C-alpha cells in the first residue's frame, strides 16, 4: 500500500498556502539572517574570513554549545535549569583541584562529571518528587553552587601542575583544528542522535509536548523529566571541565556567563526548524549565531559591554518571534 | 422588556456550536437553560454576554437591533454575566470586591475607604435589604453562598436588566444553596431577569419561570417550568429521536462471549463507587450517565487511578497491584480518552510521531531503541490506511487535521505496532466531535476488535452510539453503578429512565 492510496490529499483551504509559506519563512529566517551576518562580516571586517578566525569561532562557541545542548534537553521536557553556569564552575574546580592533588586524569574527570550527576539528581528530585518548579529549584541550586565554588577554592584560582593530557582538551589541536571543536561536534551529533533517533529522545519531547497525553500513553513522565534535568547538569559539568582545561586553571567564577548565553542560544534555536520547540540542530546554529556576532563585534573593536547589549536585544527578538508565532511553552 | 435572539448560528472550526437558535429572555422571569455538555449553553450565554459575536443571526433589545462586541458593551446595555469559575479577588474584602474598578477616590487617585464601605453596604441593602453579610472580611473567609451573592451584587452595580448566572450553585455545599436560591427568585420582581444555567434539574424546575432545552447546538423547546418533571427534562436533553440500529452483523448474544477479562470489586474512587463490575472477552459494555455521574471517571480509573481509595482489579487470573497507565499498558490494556487534544495528542507533532507514542519500539531497530524513520513511516501508513485517515501524508501535523481524523489518530496510537490484541480497550467519548462517516468507521473498528476477543468498555454521552455498539449497558447515577441493561432491551427511553435513577 503506498502513501497516496492510504492517505488521500486533502484540498488545501484558502489561506492554507499562505500559512504554509509563512511557516517556511519562519523556519529558515534565522538561518538567512545568520548567513547575511556572515557575508556582512566577511565583506566588512578584514580578518573575519580567514581559516584561523573561523576555527577560532568554533573554539569559542564549543563550550557554550555544550551547555546549550544540555539546556535543550531540559527545554524539550519543558524543564528549565538555571544552575548550569555555576555547575560548570563547580566541575571546572573539582577536576583541576584533584589533578593538582595528584589524582589520575580519568578519576579527576569522573569526579567532575560525578558532581554534575549529583547536582542533576538533586535538581530532578526537587522538581519531580518534592514539586518545586524547576525555575525556582535550579535558581536556588545556582546560588548554592556559587557559594560552594568559593568555599572549595577559597576564592582563589587553582593552577600550576595541571598535566598536559588535561590541558590538551582545551588547548590542543588535531590536524590544525582545535580539539574543543571535535568534542563539540561529537556532543552535537550524539545529542542529535539521542533526541531525533531514539525512543528516549522521543519520550523526552513527548513529555514536554503534552505531559498528560504522554502519561496516558503509558510513558513515565516523571522519569523522563528527571533524565532531562540530569543530562542538562552533565553537559554543564562537561563544559566546565573543558573551560578549565582551556584556561589552564580552575576559576571559582568561571562559567557564570554560560547561563544567559546558553538560554540565548536555545531561544535563537527555537526560532528554527520546529519553531517553538528546542532542537539540537537549532541550538547548534543558535550558538553559531552568537559566536559569529561576538567574533565580528570583537574584530570591529567594540566593547564587551556593547556585546552584552546586543545579546540582550537578540534574546528579546528571538523570544518575541517565537512567542508571537507559536504557542511558546517555556514553563 | 426583553432581549430577543433570532436564528443565531455559531461556527467554530470543524463544528457548529449553535444552529439557528431563537429564544427571548425577559426581565420579569428566571429562565432556566439546560443541556448536556457541548449542547451549546455556554456559547449561547457568551454571545448574550458580549464575549463572542455569533457567526450569523440577530439580537434585538426591546425591539432595537443590537450587536454586542464586548462584555463592556453588553454591560452598557444592561446584561451582566456571572461566570461559573468565580471572579472575586479572594484576599480583598467584600466591599472592595463589590466596587472593584469603580472605587470612590479622592482627587489624586487615593481610595476613599469610608465611602467605599458605605457605598458597598448601600448597594447590598438596595438589592437585598434583609441580608447580613460582613463586607469588611476578605471574601475567602466567607461562606461560598455569600461569595456568590457578593459577585451578584457587583454584577448588579450598573443598570442591569438581564443577569446570566452560570452554574451558580455548582461549588456550594447543599445547606448554602437555599440562601442563594431565595436571592435568585427575588430578582425578577426587582426588574432583573435571570438566565440560569445549572446541571441540577430540580433546581432548574424550582427556580425557573420558563425553561429552554438545548441539544447538539439546537434549541429543542422553550416552555413554562410549572409542571415540568426531571424525567421529562432528562428526556428532552438526551433524546435524539431515532431508534438504535441493529449494529450490522455483530453477534450480541451473551452465549457468543468468552470468559471475564476484567473483574472489579468494591471499587472506590472520589467520583464513583462500584461494588462489582466485569467485562467478558468479546463483550462491548456501554457506560451511560448524566454529566458528573461518575461513568467517565470510572472508565478511566480502570487504566489510571492515582486516587484509588479501595478495591481490587483482576485482569484474567491476575490481581493488578497498582492501577497506573504504564503498568496497564504493559498488561495489555488500552485507553482512548476524551478531549483528545488535551489527553491524547500533541498538536504540533506529525501523525507519524503521534501514532508512535504508545509503541515506538515497533518503528525501531531492536537494539538500544534506535528509531528508524522508514519503519515508522511504513507502520504509520499501515495504521492510517486501516483507519482511512485523510491526511496529506504521515508527516502532516495533527493539529491541522479534522476532528474525525484526529480521533482516528488518537485510536490509531493503540493499533500502531500492537503485536497481539489488547485484552481490554477503554474508550471515553470515542466519537466526540466526529463526523457521521468517521463515526461509522470507528464503530465498525470497535466491533471488529470485539469480534477478535478484546473486551471493550465504552463510556459515552451519545446514547445512540451506546445502543448501537453495546452488548450490555451499565447506568451511573450520582456515582453509583445501577443494574445492567442487557441487549436487546435497548431504547432511548430505557436508557433515560436508567440515567434518571429508575431501576432498570
Phi and psi torsions of A119, nearest 5°: -65, -40
Kindly state whether residue A246 falls inside one of the protein's structural domains. yes
Give dist(CA B501, CA B504) in Å, integer: 9
Mutate to test the interface with B, among A218, A274, A275, A279 (most CBs of B within 10 A): A218
Query: CB–CB of B357 and A8 under 8 A?
Result: no
pLDDT in tens, A218-251: 999 999 999 999 999 999 999 999 999 999 999 8
Neighbours of B209 (CB within 10 A): 17
- Supply the CATH number for residue A90's domain: 1.10.3470
**Mutation target among B325, B368, B380 for the A interface, most CBs of A within 10 A:** B325
Query: Is A142 within the bounds of a domain?
Result: yes
The complex scores an ipTM of 0.86
**Is the minimum CB–CB distance between B53 and chain A shorter than 8 Å?**
no
| Parallel, antiparallel or unpaired: strands B2-12 and A173-174 | unpaired
User: Is residue B216 a contact partner of residue B37, using CB atoms and an 8 Å limit?
Assistant: no
pLDDT in tens, B117-168: 999 999 999 888 888 889 999 998 888 888 999 999 999 988 899 999 988 8
Encode burial over A298-319: b for 16+ CB neighbours within 10 A, e otherwise: beeeeeeeebeeebeebbeebb
Q: Which of A198, A199, A218 sits opposite B326 (nearest CB)?
A: A218
Q: What is the pLDDT of residue A98?
A: 93
The answer to whether A217 contacts B328, with C-beta atoms less than 8 Å apart, is no
pLDDT for res A327 = 65
B329 touches chain A (CB under 8 A): yes
pLDDT digits (tens, 9 = 90+) for B99-119: 988 888 888 888 898 999 999
Q: Report the distance separating Cα B268 and Cα B261, nearest Å.
A: 20
The number of folded domains in chain A is 1
Q: Regarding beta strands B56-61 and B210-215, do their DSSP bridges make them parallel or antiparallel, or are they unpaired? A: unpaired
Q: According to the model, what pLDDT value does residue A11 have?
A: 40
Q: Do B346 and A210 touch (CB under 8 A)?
A: yes
- Cell numbers that stand for B85 in this block: 469559575
DSSP B172: S
Cα–Cα distance between B71 and B86 in angstroms, integer? 16
Share of chain A above pLDDT 70, in %: 92
Cβ atoms within 10 A of the Cβ of B319, count? 10
Listed as own residue / partner, the contacts of B323-326 with beta carbons closer than 8 Å and 24 or more positions apart are B325/A215, B325/A216, B325/A217, B325/A218, B326/A218, B326/A219, B326/A220
SS3 string, A243-298, reads HHHHHCEECCCCCCHHHHHHHHHHHHHHCCCCCCCCCHHHHHHHHHHHHHHHHHHH
Report residue A2's pLDDT band, with 50, 70 and 90 as the boundaries: very low
Across the interface, do A219 and B326 touch by the CB < 8 Å criterion? yes
A–B CB contacts, 8 A cutoff, strictly below: 94
Q: Which residue of A has its CA nearest to B361?
A: A199
Express each pLDDT in B287-343 by its tens digit. Answer: 998 888 899 999 999 999 999 999 999 998 899 999 999 999 999 999 999 999 999
Name the residue among A3, A8, A202 with its Cβ closest to that of B390: A8
| Cα distance between residue A210 and residue A208, in whole Å | 6
Domain that holds residue A74: 28-325
Q: In terms of Cα–Cα distance, which of B450, B56, B436 is closest to B256? A: B450
Residue A307 lies inside a defined structural domain of this protein: yes
DSSP three-state, residue B147: helix
Q: Contacts of residue A210 in chain B, CB cutoff 8 Å? A: 342, 345-347
CA of A123, closest CA in chain B: separation in Å? 24
Could you tell me the CA-to-CA distances from B262 to B252, B289, B309 in Å, in that order?
A: 19, 21, 19
pLDDT at A107 over 70: yes
Q: What is the dihedral of CA A183, A186, A188, A192, to 10 degrees?
A: -160
pLDDT (mean) for B188-215: 91
pLDDT computed for residue A207 by the predictor: 96
| A211: in domain | yes
Which residues 182-221 on chain B approach chain A with CB closer than 8 angstroms?
none
Within 197-256 of A, beta carbons closer than 8 Å to B belong to: 197-200, 202-203, 206, 209-210, 212-220
Considering only CB atoms, which chain A residues are within 8 Å of B371?
Answer: 196-199, 202
Which pLDDT value is given to residue B130? 85
- Nearest CB partner across the interface for B384, out of A7, A219, A276: A7
- Nearest to A292, CA basis, from A47, A46, A37, A66: A37
Residue A41 domain-assigned (yes or no): yes
| Backbone φ, ψ for residue B336 (5° rounding) | -110, 105
Asked if residue A2 is part of any domain, the answer here is no
**Is A330 part of any domain?**
no
Mean pLDDT (chain A, rounded): 88
Residue A258 domain flag:
yes
Question: For chain B, how many residues are written?
Answer: 504
Amino acid at each position: 500500500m503506498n502513501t497516496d492510496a492510504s492517505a488521500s490529499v486533502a484540498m488545501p483551504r484558502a489561506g492554507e498556502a499562505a500559512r504554509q509559506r509563512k511557516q517556511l519563512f519562519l523556519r529558515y529566517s534565522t538561518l538567512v539572517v545568520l548567513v547575511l551576518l556572515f557575508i556582512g562580516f566577511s565583506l566588512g571586517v578584514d580578518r573575519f574570513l580567514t581559516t584561523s578566525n573561523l576555527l577560532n569561532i568554533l573554539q569559542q562557541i564549543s563550550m557554550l554549545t555544550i551547555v546549550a545542548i544540555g539546556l535543550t534537553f531540559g527545554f524539550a521536557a519543558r524543564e528549565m535549569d538555571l544552575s548550569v553556569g555555576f555547575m560548570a564552575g563547580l566541575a571546572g574546580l573539582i577536576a583541576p583541584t584533584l589533578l593538582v592533588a595528584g589524582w589520575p586524569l580519568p578519576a579527576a574527570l569522573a569526579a567532575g562529571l560525578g558532581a554534575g550527576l549529583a547536582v542533576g539528581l538533586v535538581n530532578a528530585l526537587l522538581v519531580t518528587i518534592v514539586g518545586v518548579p524547576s525555575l525556582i529549584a535550579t535558581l536556588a541550586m545556582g546560588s548554592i553552587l556559587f557559594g560552594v565554588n568559593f568555599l572549595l577554592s577559597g576564592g582563589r584560582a587553582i593552577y600550576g601542575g595541571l598535566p598536559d593530557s588535561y590541558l590538551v582538551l582545551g588547548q590542543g589541536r588535531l590536524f590544525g583544528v582545535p580539539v574543543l571543536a571535535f568534542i563539540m561536534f561529537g556532543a552535537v551529533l550524539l545529542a542529535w542522535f539521542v533526541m531525533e533517533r531514539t525512543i528516549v529522545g522521543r519520550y523526552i519531547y513527548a513529555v514536554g509536548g503534552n505531559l498528560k497525553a504522554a502519561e496516558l500513553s503509558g510513558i513515565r513522565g516523571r522519569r523522563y523529566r528527571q533524565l532531562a534535568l540530569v543530562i542538562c547538569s552533565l553537559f554543564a559539568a562537561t563544559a566546565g571541565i573543558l573551560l578549565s582545561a582551556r584556561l589552564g586553571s580552575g576559576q571559582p567564577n568561571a562559567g557564570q556567563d554560560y547561563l544567559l548565553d546558553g538560554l540565548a542560544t536555545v531561544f535563537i534555536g527555537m526560532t528554527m526548524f520546529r519553531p517553538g520547540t528546542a532542537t539540537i540542530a537549532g541550538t547548534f546554529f543558535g550558538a553559531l549565531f552568537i559566536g559569529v556576532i561576538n567574533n565580528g563585534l570583537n574584530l570591529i573593536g567594540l566593547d564587551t559591554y556593547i556585546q552584552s547589549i546586543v545579546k540582550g536585544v537578540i534574546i528579546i527578538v528571538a523570544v518575541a518571534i517565537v512567542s508571537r508565532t507559536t504557542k511558546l511553552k517555556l514553563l | 422588556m426583553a432581549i430577543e435572539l433570532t436564528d443565531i448560528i455559531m461556527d467554530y472550526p470543524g463544528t457548529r456550536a449553535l444552529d439557528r437558535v431563537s429564544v427571548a429572555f425577559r426581565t420579569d422571569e428566571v429562565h432556566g437553560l439546560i443541556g448536556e455538555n457541548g449542547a451549546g449553553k455556554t456559547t449561547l450565554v457568551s454571545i448574550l454576554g458580549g464575549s463572542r459575536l455569533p457567526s450569523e443571526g440577530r439580537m434585538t433589545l426591546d425591539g432595537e437591533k443590537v450587536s454586542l462586541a464586548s462584555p463592556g458593551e453588553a454591560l452598557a446595555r444592561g446584561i451582566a454575566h456571572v461566570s461559573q469559575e468565580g471572579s472575586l479577588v479572594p484576599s480583598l474584602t467584600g466591599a472592595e470586591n463589590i466596587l472593584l474598578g469603580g472605587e470612590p477616590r479622592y482627587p489624586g487617585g487615593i481610595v476613599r475607604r469610608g465611602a467605599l464601605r458605605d457605598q458597598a453596604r448601600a448597594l447590598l441593602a438596595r438589592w437585598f435589604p434583609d441580608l447580613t453579610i460582613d463586607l469588611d472580611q476578605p471574601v475567602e473567609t466567607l461562606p461560598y453562598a455569600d461569595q456568590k451573592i457578593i459577585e451578584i451584587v457587583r454584577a448588579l452595580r450598573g443598570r442591569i436588566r438581564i443577569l446570566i448566572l452560570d452554574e451558580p450553585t455548582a461549588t456550594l455545599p447543599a445547606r448554602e444553596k437555599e440562601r442563594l436560591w431565595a436571592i435568585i427568585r427575588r430578582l425578577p420582581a426587582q426588574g432583573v431577569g435571570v438566565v440560569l444555567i445549572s446541571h441540577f434539574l430540580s433546581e432548574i424546575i424550582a427556580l425557573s419561570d420558563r425553561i429552554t432545552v438545548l441539544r447538539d447546538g439546537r434549541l429543542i423547546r422553550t416552555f413554562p417550568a410549572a409542571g415540568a418533571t426531571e424525567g421529562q427534562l432528562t428526556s428532552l436533553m438526551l433524546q435524539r429521536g431515532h431508534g438504535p440500529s441493529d449494529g450490522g452483523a455483530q453477534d450480541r448474544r451473551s452465549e457468543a462471549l468468552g470468559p471475564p477479562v476484567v473483574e472489579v470489586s468494591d471499587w472506590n474512587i472520589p467520583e464513583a463507587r462500584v461494588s462489582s463490575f466485569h467485562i467478558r472477552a468479546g463483550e462491548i459494555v456501554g457506560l451511560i450517565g448524566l454529566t458528573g455521574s461518575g461513568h467517565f471517571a470510572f472508565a478511566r480509573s480502570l487504566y489510571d487511578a492515582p486516587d484509588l481509595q479501595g478495591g481490587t482489579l483482576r485482569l484474567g487470573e491476575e490481581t493488578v497491584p497498582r492501577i497506573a497507565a504504564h503498568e496497564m499498558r504493559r498488561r495489555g490494556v488500552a485507553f482512548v480518552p476524551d478531549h483528545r487534544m488535551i489527553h491524547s495528542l500533541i498538536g504540533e507533532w506529525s501523525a507519524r510521531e503521534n501514532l508512535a507514542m504508545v509503541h515506538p519500539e515497533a518503528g525501531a531497530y531492536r537494539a538500544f531503541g534506535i528509531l528508524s524513520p522508514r519503519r515508522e513511516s511504513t507502520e504509520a501508513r499501515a495504521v492510517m490506511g486501516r483507519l482511512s485517515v485523510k491526511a496529506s501524508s504521515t508527516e502532516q501535523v495533527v493539529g491541522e487535521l479534522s476532528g474525525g481524523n484526529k480521533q482516528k489518530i488518537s485510536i490509531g496510537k493503540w493499533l500502531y505496532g500492537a503485536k497481539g490484541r489488547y485484552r481490554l480497550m477503554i474508550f471515553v467519548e470515542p466519537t466526540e466531535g466526529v463526523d457521521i462517516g468517521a463515526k461509522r468507521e470507528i464503530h465498525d473498528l470497535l466491533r471488529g476488535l470485539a469480534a477478535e476477543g478484546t473486551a471493550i468498555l465504552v463510556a459515552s454521552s451519545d446514547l445512540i452510539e451506546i445502543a448501537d455498539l453495546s452488548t450490555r449497558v451499565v447506568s451511573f447515577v450520582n456515582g453509583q453503578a445501577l443494574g445492567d441493561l442487557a441487549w436487546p432491551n435497548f431504547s432511548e427511553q430505557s436508557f433515560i429512565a436508567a440515567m434518571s435513577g429508575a431501576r432498570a
